[in-house]
């Protein structure tokens, strides 16, 4: 791409003129959405005068110097992130190996189920595990007591517990990345080892492992970066015991009086820097370590006949589904139908009242409606806009495409919470009165989902062979006619999937929303958090179930789409 | 639009295309007359497809001129580059580019509908071309449910439906299996002749290029090595590259014993001391149309005075001889311009079905020889080797 960009000759200046103008506009839009909030974040981190004022009345580095006082928080963050990474990568590796390299039954369905914890969200997961494994009243602990055990078997309100929940609900990415590494290996590499006389184990140790090692290492570092920026689990399970990680410390410092915006911004920027460095490192590992024989091409991996051990492997895979989907959903379901806050297994009273309250209570019901409105409009406006953007970056030969890609992918590296903070200050300081309205949330969602949309859409656009479009042109169709008759009809299923994906992501969004929603613009995830903090757990369980149900319905549609519109229509 | 008065359908002058720092096409020029089928032949990366795509309007060249039917389609000097849809030509893509969301008939009708022809005319033309490619019964099938060969036919039907007078083929047969490829080759040529379409055809398959073309343009490293009829390119290659790429000739190194005479005859001695009579066809007017700059395709280091003779494996005759008969001694037959004669031993025999390929040890090294399957000779058998002087092409 870049090569062709520099090759543009002066002779096609007219084309460049229009294209250049288009590029400038796109760049301006992306810049305004992405860079603008970051400017405010940086300004606020340097602001030692009145908080939230732009430009800062007084500037110094003292906010950054004060990070030293948060050394305990940083240590706790690293501890939790490291624990969660180890657990997530271990689970991810084992599950990826079982599902992509062995012949256990029902692999396709299991692989789909593996994605569910991610869609369930760490927020819902943390609440569910709070119900399951809280001290004394936790369902698992109650079972333990019934069985005659003394004391508590589990306490989820600990660093280890937080890491466990993070690993289950945010670690899905480890499974996805490691699976990809395992699937992109040419099975002939292993087959030739076997043919040359090496046994299964020898092949595994000397061929398979060295080949997937870079992929696993890269996934581990990537997951670590994600865990550094994770918020929900640490919030739900850490705040009650006054255990803080960087993200929850940022939230807390904005809630104190007077708000410590400088501290929040300095912590946020440091977290952002740490994540950028870690993510770059992850990419570097992959590039340096990957062998030329591992291509981007997907092979059909040779599956190992696990023999009688396959029942054990099947049990492990389903065990994960049990821990990450069945138990949490079951616990929430049970709690949401209870009349009293703490479920005591022996004397429970079932009721539908919580769902009635959740749906009728003015602000809570409104939060669902708001989330749906936001999700539908962000997806509907975002897909065409991001579609055009993707086309400009990956298909047109206009100069600067690579640069636009960098800008648009930027929000990926910024923790949502930190980005929300920047957006908050950025839009408070603009004379357009959109703070506290759904408009601001809409803009924020569009911005933070740019990378997601771009990646999905790029996959969709790349699936359509370029010659299909070129052929239409040679047949005499203008660009517009070609778009209408060839490109759009071919892209439609992929675009529908992208639309659903953005819808789902919007409905479950927490990090950016928590700072940006106002009393008149509540959305679901932060509303659940508020309910969890201020009212009963059975009410928030009911809300969590409604959120989960909505999201799962979306995911189901997504899977159906994915099945019906595979790229090869053979 | 300028018309330079030439009646060529396609005229390419000094075309230069750049990909980043790489010059994919470096100063290519040729003209194609009405009704001609010309092939761009060369290995992958030689710039043949880029040249074709530039003519179609799918690339942005950086220099040169392209005229279609006398009108400028691209000109670096005039700063014009007509978009593909304004060029009025048609193209068959390597991937076929059959639109999977349409029926066969809709695919074929596309170019006609774009031209806003009346419905009856669209339908008549669709029927006509589907009939030409023998796909009439498939008209209402979804295009995604076709085999490779059927997709190929639909791609051709679509390309000729709106009666373009110039048709471009980008390796149209490369995704078909060998048997189907040979059949489609005949059909394509038949169709092109019948409809009297001017065609430019890109392929890396030398056999296909020789079989199908009126003229062949051999390309390498973004330049033209040779332009000529299939016979000229095969029999009188003008560079080491062409000799090696077209028909895989034996390349025999040695020295000239005397400079070529007026008719291009040369006395030549190979490295093993075999004396041959060879021909320097480049001395003969009309053979050498265009070559790369001297030395561009020479491979390896060559000693001073060292020259190469190309000799196609099909032009060598073998005859079994008895052990004592002139073993190992080679000599040139007395008659000037007649047969070269030598002796050797069959080293290896490979039966290919349509022909037998022999590896023959002879004093100048090894020779690859192809003989019809009727001429079966045992391995290790002594043979007499004969080949005409005119087939020994001095490069």
- The DSSP string of A102-144 is B--TTHHHHHHHHHHHHHH-HHHHHHHHHHHH-TTT-HHHHHH
Cβ neighbours of residue A192 closer than 8 Å, sequence gap 6 or more = none
**B223/A469 Cα distance (integer angstroms):** 29
Cα separation, A333 vs A541, in Å, equals: 7
Residue B296: its pLDDT value, please? 41
pLDDT, tens only, A380-428: 999 988 888 888 888 776 777 778 888 888 888 888 888 888 888 888 8
Provide the β-strand partners of residue B350.
Answer: B357
Contact across the interface for A474 and B84, Cβ inside 8 Å: yes
- In chain B, residues with a C-beta closer than 8 Å to the C-beta of A4 are 19-20, 60
Which residues of chain B approach chain A closer than 8 Å at the C-beta?
Answer: 18-22, 56-58, 60-62, 76, 79-81, 83-85, 87-91, 93-95, 97, 99-101, 110-111, 114-115, 144, 158, 162, 168
* pLDDT, tens digit (0-9, with 9 covering 90-100), for B138-172: 999 988 888 888 999 999 999 999 888 899 999 98
Interface test with B, best of A476, A494, A495 (most B CBs within 10 A): A476
- Residue B361: pLDDT over 80: yes
Please give the share of chain B, as a percent, with pLDDT higher than 90: 49
Residue A433 confidence (pLDDT): 80
* pLDDT average, residue stretch B18-30: 90
Using a CB-CB cut-off of 8 Å, the residues of chain A touching B88 are 476
Mean pLDDT of B228-234: 92
Closest CA in chain A for residue B114: A477
pLDDT grade, residue B109 (50/70/90)?
very high
Q: Sign (positive/negative) of CA torsion A108, A111, A117, A120?
A: negative
Confirm whether the ipTM is greater than 0.90.
no
Give A2's contacts in chain B (Cβ within 8 Å): 20
In contact, B215 and B36? CB cutoff 8 Å:
yes
pLDDT tens for each residue of A295-306: 445 556 667 777
pLDDT at A566 over 60: no
B159 to chain A, minimum CA–CA distance in Å?
7
- Which of A14-18, A53-57, A229-233, B99-103 is least confident? A14-18
Residue A43 falls within a domain, yes or no?
no
Q: Which two tokens stand for residue B269?
A: 């001695």
* CB atoms B114 and A481 under 8 Å: yes
Tens digits of per-residue pLDDT, A112-130?
Answer: 888 888 888 899 999 999 9
User: Does residue A36 belong to any structural domain of this protein?
Assistant: no
- Residue A48 inside a domain? The answer is no
Q: What is the mean pLDDT of residues B263-290?
A: 74
Compare CB distances from B18 to A7, A467, A472 and report the shortest one's residue. Answer: A7
Does A385 lie in the same domain as A332?
A: no
Q: Please state, as a whole number, how many other Cβ atoms lie within 10 Å of the Cβ of residue B13.
A: 17
A321: its two tokens: 């589904």
pLDDT score, position A325:
92
**Is residue A341 domain-resident?**
no
Kindly state the average pLDDT of the residues B280-298. 52
The average pLDDT across A219-226 equals 89
**How many residues does this entry show for chain B?**
395
Q: B76 and A8: CB-CB below 8 Å? A: no
* Residues above pLDDT 90, as percent of chain A: 18
Rounded CA-CA distance A150/A141 in Å is 9
Nearest CB neighbour to A6, from listed B20, B58, B80: B20
Distances (CA, A) of A244 to A270, A462, A521: 16, 43, 28
Residue A475 and residue B20: Cβ atoms within 8 Å?
Answer: no
> Which residues span the domain enclosing A188?
71-254+284-336
First to last CA, chain A: 30
Cα–Cα nearest to B115, from A468, A480, A475: A475
**A376 and A421 share a domain?**
yes
Residue scoring higher pLDDT (A293 or A36): A36
| B10-226 CATH, one of 3.40.1190.20, 3.20.20.120, 3.60.15.10, 3.40.50.300 | 3.40.50.300
Domain of residue A436, CATH code: 1.10.3720.10
Mean per-residue pLDDT, B268-297: 66
Domain spans of chain B? Answer: 10-226, 248-395
Cβ neighbours of B87 in A, within 8 Å: 474
Closest CB from B21, B76, B110 relative to A475 = B110
Q: Tell me, yes or no, if A2 comes closer than 8 A to chain B by beta carbon.
A: yes
Strand partners, B39: B201, B216
Q: Could you tell me if A382 and A517 lie in one domain?
A: yes
pLDDT score of B289: 47
Listed as own residue / partner, the contacts of A410-414 with beta carbons closer than 8 Å and 24 or more positions apart are A410/A34, A410/A35, A410/A451, A411/A34, A411/A447, A411/A448, A411/A450, A411/A451, A412/A451, A413/A272, A413/A275, A413/A276, A413/A279, A414/A38, A414/A272, A414/A275
Nearest C-alpha in A relative to B60 = A8
Q: With an 8 Å Cβ cutoff, are B60 and A6 in contact? A: no
Task: Judge: B62–A465 Cβ closer than 8 Å, yes or no.
Answer: no
Pick the last residue of a domain from A268, A301, A336: A336
Which residue from B21, B114, B168 is facing A476, i.e. has the nearest CB? Answer: B114
**DSSP structure string for B90-117:** EEE-TT----TTSBHHHHHHHHHHHTT-
Identify the pLDDT of residue B297: 44
A384 touches chain B (CB under 8 A): no
Distance from the B13 Cα atom to the nearest Cα atom in chain A, whole angstroms: 17
Whether A473 sits inside 8 A of B85 (CB atoms) is yes
Is residue B351 over pLDDT 50? yes
pLDDT single digits (tens) B3-13: 444 678 999 99
Question: Nearest by CB to B95, which of A465, A475, A478?
Answer: A465
**B195: closest CA of chain A, how far (Å):** 18
* A489 Cβ under 8 Å from any chain B Cβ: yes
A39-61 mean pLDDT: 80
Burial label, B294 (beta-carbon count in 10 A; 0-12, 13-18, 19+): exposed
Residue A49 within a domain: no
Instruction: Report d(CA B320, CA B376) in Å as an integer.
Output: 10
Contact A293, A186 (CB under 8 A): yes
- Give which of B161, B162, B109 is closest to B140, Cα–Cα: B109
Residue A366 lies in a domain: yes
Name the minimum distance, in Å, from the CA of A19 to any CA of chain B. Answer: 15
Across the interface, whether the CB atoms of B114 and A8 are under 8 A apart is answered: no
Q: Cis (ω within 30 of 0) for the bond into A258?
A: yes
Q: To the nearest 10°, the Cα dihedral for A356, A359, A362, A363?
A: 130
Å between B83 CA and nearest CA of chain A: 8
Q: For chain A, how many structural domains are there in total?
A: 2
Q: Report which of B302, B296, B266 is spatially closest to residue B281, judged by C-alpha positions.
A: B266
A406 and A545 co-located in one domain: yes
Least confidently predicted of A354-368, A514-528, A530-544, B190-204: A354-368
Residue-wise over B308-332: b if at least 16 C-beta within 10 A, else e? bbbbbbebbebeeeeeeeeeeebeb
B interface mutation test: which of A3, A7, A402 has the most B CBs within 10 A? A7
Residue of A nearest to B75 (CA): A11
Among the ranges given (A271-280, A322-331, B341-350, B378-387), the one the predictor scored with the smallest mean pLDDT: A271-280
In this prediction, residue B367 carries a pLDDT of 92
Residue from B26, B55, B58, B83 to probe the interface with A (highest A Cβ count within 10 Å): B58
Choose, out of B101, B172, B222, the residue to mutate when testing the contact with A (most A CBs < 10 Å).
B101
Cβ within 8 Å, pair B90-A4: no
The Cα–Cα gap between A102 and A86 comes to 23
**Best to test chain B binding among A4, A9, A475 (most B CBs inside 10 Å):** A475
What's the pLDDT band for B293 if we cut at 50, 70, 90? very low
Tell me the average pLDDT across A306-330: 90
**Disruptive mutation site among B16, B26, B99, B125 for chain A (greatest number of A CBs within 10 Å):** B99
B81 closest CB neighbour out of A12, A467, A489: A12
> Among 2.30.29.30, 3.40.50.720, 2.50.20.10, 2.40.50.140, what is the CATH number of B248-395?
2.40.50.140
Contact flag A3-B20 (C-beta cutoff 8 Å): yes
Shortest Cα–Cα distance, A464 to chain B (Å): 10
Residues A10 and A95 in one domain: no
- Predicted confidence at residue A198, as pLDDT, reads 80
Same domain, A307 and A449: no
Same domain as A129, residue A93:
yes
Q: Cβ contact (<8 Å) for B62 and A481?
A: no
CA atoms of A65 and A87, how far apart (whole Å): 33
How much is the pLDDT for B156?
Answer: 92
Sheet of B10-19, strands arranged across = B22-32, B10-19, B63-68, B71-75, B80-81
For A512-555, how does the pLDDT look when each residue is reduced to its tens digit (9 = 90+)? 898 888 888 889 888 888 888 787 777 788 888 888 988 888 88
**Angle at which helices B104-114 and B148-161 cross, to 10°:** 20
Whether residues A485 and B111 touch (CB distance < 8 A) is answered with no
User: Among A336, A370, A401, where does a domain finish?
Assistant: A336
What pLDDT, on a 0 to 100 scale, did the predictor assign at position A4? 37
Asked whether residue A10 is assigned to any structural domain, the reply reads: yes
Closest chain B residue by Cα to residue A488: B101
Q: Are residues A248 and A358 in the same domain?
A: no
Angle at B63 between CA B61 and CA B68, to 5 degrees: 70
Nearest-Cα residue of chain B relative to residue A568: B144
Identify the pLDDT of residue B302: 52
DSSP assignment of A371-431: HHHHHHHHHHHHHHHHHHHHHHHHTS--TTHHHHHHHHHGGGGS-HHHHHHHHHHHHHTSS
Q: What average pLDDT is seen over chain B? A: 85
Q: What is the DSSP letter of B319?
A: E
More confident residue, A265 or A201: A265
Q: In Å, how far is A379's CA from the nearest CA of chain B?
A: 25
Nearest C-alpha of chain A: how many angstroms from B291?
A: 27
Which of A65-74, A560-569, B318-327 comes out lowest in average pLDDT?
A560-569
Among A336, A361, A377, where does a domain finish? A336
User: For chain B, what percent of residues have pLDDT higher than 70?
Assistant: 89
Assess whether A331 and A361 both reside in one domain.
no
- Do the beta carbons of residue A468 and residue B155 sit within 8 Å? no
- C-alpha separations of B187 from B115, B155, B171, B183 in Å: 27, 14, 15, 6
What are A465-517's pLDDT values in tens digits?
Answer: 888 989 999 999 988 899 889 988 888 888 888 888 899 889 888 888 988 88
Contacts of A467 in chain B (CB under 8 A): 93-95, 97
Task: Calculate how close chain B gets to A9, using CA atoms only, in Å.
Answer: 6
pLDDT beyond 90 at B53? yes
Q: Quick check: B144 and A570 CB within 8 A?
A: yes
Q: What is the pLDDT of residues A243-272, one digit of tens each?
A: 999 999 999 888 888 888 888 888 998 898
**Chain-chain contact of B79 with A475 (C-beta, under 8 angstroms):** no
């Amino acid at each position: 791409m870049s090569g062709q960009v520099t090759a543009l000759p002066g002779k096609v200046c007219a084309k460049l003129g229009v294209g250049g103008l288009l590029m400038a506009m796109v760049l301006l839009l992306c810049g305004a959405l992405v860079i603008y909030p970051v400017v405010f974040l940086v300004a606020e981190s340097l602001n030692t005068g009145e908080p939230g004022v732009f430009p800062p009345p007084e500037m110094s580095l003292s906010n950054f110097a004060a990070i030293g006082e948060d050394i305990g928080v940083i240590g706790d963050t690293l501890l939790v992130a490291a624990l969660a990474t180890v657990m997530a990568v271990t689970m991810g590796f084992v599950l990826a190996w079982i599902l992509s390299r062995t012949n256990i039954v029902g692999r396709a369905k299991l692989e789909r189920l593996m994605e569910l914890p991610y869609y369930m969200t760490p927020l819902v997961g943390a609440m569910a595990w709070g119900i399951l494994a809280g001290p004394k009243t936790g369902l698992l602990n109650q079972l333990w007591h019934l069985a005659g055990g003394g004391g508590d078997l589990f306490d989820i309100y600990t660093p280890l517990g937080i890491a466990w929940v993070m690993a289950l609900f945010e670690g899905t990415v480890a499974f996805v990345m490691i699976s990809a590494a395992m699937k992109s290996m040419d099975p002939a590499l292993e087959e030739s080892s076997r043919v040359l006389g090496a046994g299964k184990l020898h092949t595994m140790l000397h061929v398979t492992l060295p080949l997937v090692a870079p992929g696993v290492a890269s996934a581990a570092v990537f997951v670590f970066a994600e865990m550094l920026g994770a918020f929900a689990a640490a919030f739900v399970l850490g705040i009650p015991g006054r255990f803080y990680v960087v993200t929850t410390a940022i939230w807390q410092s904005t809630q104190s009086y007077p708000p410590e915006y400088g501290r929040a911004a300095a912590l946020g920027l440091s977290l952002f820097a740490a994540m950028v460095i870690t993510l770059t490192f992850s990419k570097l590992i992959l590039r340096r370590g990957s062998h030329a024989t591992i291509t981007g091409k997907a092979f059909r991996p040779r599956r190992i006949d696990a023999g009688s051990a396959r029942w054990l492997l099947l049990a492990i895979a389903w065990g994960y589904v049990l821990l990450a989907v069945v138990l949490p959903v079951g616990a929430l379901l049970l709690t949401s139908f209870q009349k009293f806050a703490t479920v005591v297994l022996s004397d429970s009273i079932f009721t539908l009242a919580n769902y009635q309250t959740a749906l009728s209570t003015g602000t809570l019901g409104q939060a669902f409606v708001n989330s749906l409105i936001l999700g539908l409009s962000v997806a509907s406006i975002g897909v065409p806009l991001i579609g055009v953007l993707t086309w400009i970056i990956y298909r047109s030969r206009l100069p600067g495409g690579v640069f636009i890609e960098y800008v648009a992918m930027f929000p990926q590296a910024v923790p949502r919470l930190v980005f929300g903070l920047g957006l908050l200050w950025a839009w408070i300081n603009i004379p357009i009165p959109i703070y506290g309205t759904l408009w601001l949330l809409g803009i924020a969602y569009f911005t933070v989902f740019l990378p997601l949309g771009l990646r999905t859409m790029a996959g969709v656009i790349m699936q359509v062979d370029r010659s299909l479009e070129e052929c239409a042109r040679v047949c005499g169709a203008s660009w517009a006619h070609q778009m209408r008759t060839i490109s759009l009809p071919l892209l439609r299923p992929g675009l529908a999937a992208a639309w659903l994906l953005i819808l789902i992501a919007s409905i479950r969004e927490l990090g950016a929303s928590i700072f940006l929603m106002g009393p008149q613009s509540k959305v679901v995830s932060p509303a659940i958090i508020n309910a969890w903090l201020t009212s009963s757990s059975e009410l928030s369980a009911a809300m969590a179930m409604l959120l989960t149900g909505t999201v799962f319905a979306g995911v189901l549609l997504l899977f159906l789409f994915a099945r019906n519109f595979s790229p090869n229509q053979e | 639009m300028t018309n330079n008065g030439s009646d060529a359908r396609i005229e390419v002058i000094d075309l230069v295309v750049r990909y980043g720092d790489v010059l994919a096409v470096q100063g290519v020029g040729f003209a194609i007359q009405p009704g001609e089928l010309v092939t761009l032949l060369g290995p992958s990366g030689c710039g043949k497809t880029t040249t074709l795509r530039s003519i179609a309007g799918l690339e942005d060249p950086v220099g040169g001129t392209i005229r279609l039917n006398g009108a400028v389609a691209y000109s670096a000097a005039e700063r014009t580059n007509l978009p593909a849809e304004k060029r009025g030509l048609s193209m068959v893509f390597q991937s076929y580019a059959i639109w999977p969301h349409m029926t066969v008939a809709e695919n074929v009708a596309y170019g006609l509908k774009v031209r806003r022809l009346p419905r009856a005319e669209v339908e008549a033309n669709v029927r006509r071309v589907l009939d030409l490619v023998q796909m009439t019964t498939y008209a209402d099938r979804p295009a995604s449910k076709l085999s490779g060969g059927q997709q190929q036919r639909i791609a051709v039907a679509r390309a000729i439906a709106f009666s373009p007078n110039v048709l471009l083929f980008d390796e149209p047969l490369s995704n078909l299996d060998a048997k189907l490829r040979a059949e489609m080759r005949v059909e394509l040529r038949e169709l092109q002749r019948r409809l009297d379409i001017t065609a430019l055809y890109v392929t890396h398959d030398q056999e296909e290029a020789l079989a199908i073309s009126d003229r062949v343009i051999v390309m390498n490293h973004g330049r033209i090595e040779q332009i000529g009829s299939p016979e000229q390119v095969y029999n009188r290659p003008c560079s080491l590259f062409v000799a090696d790429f077209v028909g895989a000739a034996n390349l025999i190194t040695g020295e000239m014993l005397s400079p070529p005479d007026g008719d291009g005859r040369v006395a030549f001695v190979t490295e093993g001391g075999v004396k041959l009579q060879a021909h320097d066809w480049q001395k003969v007017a009309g053979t050498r149309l265009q070559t790369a700059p001297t030395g561009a395709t020479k491979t390896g280091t060559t000693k001073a005075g060292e020259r190469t003779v190309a000799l196609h494996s099909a032009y060598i005759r073998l005859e079994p001889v008895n052990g004592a008969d002139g073993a190992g001694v080679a000599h040139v037959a007395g008659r000037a311009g007649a047969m070269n004669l030598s002796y050797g031993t069959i080293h290896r025999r490979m039966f290919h079905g349509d022909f037998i390929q022999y590896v023959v040890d002879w004093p100048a090294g090894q020779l690859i020889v192809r003989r019809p399957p009727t001429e079966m000779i045992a391995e290790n058998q002594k043979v007499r080797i004969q080949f005409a002087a005119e087939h020994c092409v001095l490069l």
